[in-house]
Each structure stands twice: as C-alpha cells, then as structure tokens.
Amino acid sequence: MATAVPAPIPDRENMSLVQRMRMLTEEMRKNSEKIESLQQEIQFAHRARDVLLKQIDLGQKVASAITAAEEKSKQNNENADDPLPEEGIELEGEDAEAINDLQKQLANTELELATINIEKSLVMGDTTNLAGDDGGSSSYGGKKETTLLPIDRCLKSDRTTYAVPMDFPNSDERHYVFDGPLVVADNRTADEASFQASYPAAVTTLSMPRKLTGPTNNPKPGSFAAKTVESAVFGFGCFWCAESRFWHLPGVVSTQAGYCGGPTAFPTYSEVCRGVTNHAEVVRVQFQPSKISYREILRHFWIAHDPTKYCQQGNDSGSQYRSIIVYYNENQKQIAEETKAAFAKAVRKQFPEKYPASMDEDSIVRTEIVDGDQNVFYLAERKHQQYEAKPYAREYCGLRPLPIPLGLLQDI
C-alpha cells in the first residue's frame, strides 16, 4: 500500500525576510479562516442543542399530560357501568386541547432543526448534506446517532388512543392501487434499513414515536430560512412518483414526502391509505427563489399529472391521491390560481368537445388550492423518503400526465 509523501518543510533559515513574512501571513490567514469556520460550527451546534433540549422538555410534558389525562379519565369512570375501551380513551375539552398544543410545539421543533441545517449548509458553503447523502451526514438531525426521548406511547389518529410505535419495516403498510394492495417487500433488518435509507439531512431523524415527529409548515417570516429558502407543497398521486419530479431541479435544496390536507393529527401511511384521515399524499419542495421561481416549480407540477381526474392518478384511486396545492403566502396563492386558470384554458383548447366553454374552471381542473396555515404538513415515514432513488425500490409510477402540447401551456 502506497504511503502519502509529506510536503517538504520550508527551510526558514535560508529564507529571505520577505519570504518569511509572506509565509507567516499565509499561515495566519489560513488559521484565521479555520477559527472563523469553527466558531460558526459552534454557533450552529449550540442552536441545535437548544432545540434538542426543548424537544426533550416538550416530550416529557406530552407524556406527563397523557398520563394525567389517563388518571383523570380512570377516576371519572370508576363508578361507570361500562369499562374503559381497549383501544384507548377519548379526550375532550381542555385536556385534548392542551395535549394537541404540546404536540404542535413538538412538531415545530423538527422544522427548527431543519431550518438550522439548511442555514448551516448554505452559510458554510456545503449543500451536499441537503441531497439525501447516505454516507453519514454531519449536519444536525442527519447523523446516524439518534436522540431517544422519554416517551413510550403516542396519540393515534384524531382520538386519544395509545399505541407503541412499530419497528421498521412496518408490515401493516401497503400501497393501494386499483387491482388490490401491493405489499412493499423489504426483508432487510431494521439496522440495515436504517443505514441504507436515503433521507434528506434537512429533515431530522430523532428516535421518537412516529406520532410526534415531522416538521410542519413554512419557516416563520424574518428567519434566515424564510429569506433564503421557500417551501412549496404539492399533491398529485403517489408521493413516491411525485417527489422524483422535483429533486433534480436546479435551485431545489431538499424534498420530503408527507401528508397534508386532513384534520387528523400525525397520520400514518396505513391510516392515509385507508382514507380515514382525509389527508393527501404530498411532497414538500424547499427551494431557493433566487435560482428557481415558484411559478417554474408549479409548471412542473401541472405537466406531471392529470388534474382533471377527481381523486385519481393512473391506477391510484382515493382521496389521498387527489391533486392539491398548499400555499404559504399570498404570492403563492395568486400564482397557483393564475396557473390553474391557464391550465383549464389549455384543456378547453385541446379537448373542446369534452370541456366546452360553458364549463367552469373548477369543473375542468379538480386541483384544490388550500392555505398552509390551516393545513399542517406531516412528514411521512422514513422508508417513503426519496423512494425512487433507493436501490431496493420497487419500480412503480402511477402518474398519467394529460396529453396537452407544450405550446398550449405557454401561459403557465
């Protein structure tokens, strides 16, 4: 095995004074850059540490609130004729509101970590960690080491029922299509799956109950990420297929598969597939507006699927596969509505007999446009992230774009 040859040590004694000064100046410059870089690393590490401590505190509060609610419910039912249901206890009023508020705070800490990671990568000039590298990311939340919160149960669906999180892979999770459920086969061990999983470092992977994980909405105005990175959320069929339509675009720094558009807090894949939560499978695209515009990303959304179908894309049928745009500011809302109208106009021109001029826009294009502040984005399980890029991924694509010439889509 060849050994590296060390660089020759400068002979300082035979150097002129000018040469010495130049060499010392260069060494001082390099050391100064190293110190500045280390100081920035320390600042980001301190911020991430504070968020992680906040997560632990909120996790303990959620666990305590659930325990207290259980005890209170048991006391109220001691004299009741009916025993407590096995599937859990339904909470109402202040108890449910308090636990729900804590859950939202805990979910928002995931976004804080994601924001810190994106800011760190941009400031330090290293965006490789935002592309889903498998080689052991050094960014916050992307490490293979995990932080275990002291919670061993979690809220399920919109009821206050309790369940221990299932180990990965979850045999209960299937991908439903027209001709029956297709089981996502995965015979690897949990450790192998965790090591091989392709997952964006912009999203944290803490070992928490799945119900209490997942970044939520767009970064708050005024934050670094809000000025540098913008979020867009789209749903159009299976998120396995939809996510791959965006991650190659210049200016897109990360993509995440998730759920949005339903009232149920912290939904799971199996719940969404059964249609019990009313969520849609969606993709969150985080992009730099200085490199790619929201309108350009929307153009890729429109031409990638058939928005004239109601709750269906290809073989995938159900409310979870509906076409949906989630906006996070008035500018996004306006552009979404403008491009929807332009697409409806193009559909009329291409299919005048099926879609006459008398038919209104919403009857032609069935895409929902909803407010992100009213519809929380929940991160999907890790195995669904960048699914089509994984070496073990099953070849599948349920998208069936509408055959419209690009010339008719110039206004989008």
SS3 of residue 326 by DSSP: strand
Beta bridge partners of 379: 258
The burial of 96, by beta-carbon neighbours within 10 Å (0-12 exposed, 13-18 middle, 19 or more buried), is given as: middle
- CB-CB neighbours of 171 under 10 Å: 10
Residue spans of alpha helices (H) in 205-318: 224-228, 239-243, 269-273, 294-303
How distant, in Å, are the alpha carbons of 37, 155, 197, 289, 377 from that of 227?
A: 22, 34, 30, 9, 20
Pairing of strands 324-327, 368-371: parallel
Alpha carbon dihedral 283, 289, 291, 292, in 10-degree steps, equals 50
How distant, in Å, are the alpha carbons of 202, 358, 391 from that of 388?
A: 18, 41, 8
Q: Which residue of the set 154, 238, 241, 273 is catalytic?
A: 238
Residue 16 backbone phi and psi in degrees, to 5: -75, 165
Tokens at 68, concatenated: 């207290």
- CB-CB neighbours of 72 under 10 Å: 13
SS3 of residue 241 by DSSP: helix
Q: Note if 238 is an active site residue.
A: yes
295 CB contacts (<8 Å, ≥6 apart)?
335, 339, 412
Rounded CA separation 225/223 (Å): 5
Check if the beta carbon of residue 302 is closer than 8 Å to that of residue 282: no
Q: Catalytic amino acids?
A: 238
